[in-house]
């Protein structure tokens, strides 16, 4: 029985060894001297004119939450697609109801103006 765990232990040892080796190699080749120019944030060649911790509109977070909600709900379609042949007509009707609920929610958010950026 312990012989079954040998590949797992070897894989773990190789992963840890690779991580340690990579960190050691990176510390050997990195630049050791820091100066003011190297520590400045780089913004596509544009000089920084304000603090990066400014306020964002609540609409930004609302759009992000809606994206996550709709994205996570569409992930539920993958298992349905895998089992579509076994589910038959019942599975098709259930998925159409699910998609109808998604579309209704999307249009509700759209009509409420939740997808407006400004």
CATH class of 2-111: mainly alpha
pLDDT of 52: 66
pLDDT of 61: 82
Q: Could you report the per-residue pLDDT of 17-75, keeping only the tens digit for each?
A: 999 999 999 999 887 777 777 777 666 766 667 776 777 777 788 888 888 888 888 78
Select from 16, 89, 50, 39 the least CA-distant residue to 8: 16
pLDDT of 112: 84
Residue 15 pLDDT level (bands cut at 50, 70, 90): very high
Q: Could you report the per-residue pLDDT of 74-99, keeping only the tens digit for each?
A: 788 888 888 888 988 998 999 899 88
Domain boundaries, the chain: 2-111
Write the CA distances from 110 to 52, 65, 75, integer angstroms: 30, 14, 21
């Amino acid at each position: 029985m312990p012989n079954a765990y040998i590949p797992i232990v070897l894989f773990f040892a190789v992963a840890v060894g690779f991580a340690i080796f990579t960190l050691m190699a990176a510390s050997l080749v990195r630049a050791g001297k820091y100066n003011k120019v190297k520590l400045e944030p780089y913004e596509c060649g544009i000089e920084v004119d304000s603090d990066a911790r400014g306020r964002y509109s609540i609409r930004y977070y609302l759009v992000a939450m809606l994206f996550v909600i709709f994205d996570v709900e569409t992930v539920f379609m993958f298992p349905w697609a895998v089992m579509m042949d076994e589910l038959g007509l019942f599975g098709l009707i259930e998925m159409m109801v699910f998609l109808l609920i998604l579309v209704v929610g999307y249009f509700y958010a759209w009509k409420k103006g939740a997808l407006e950026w400004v």
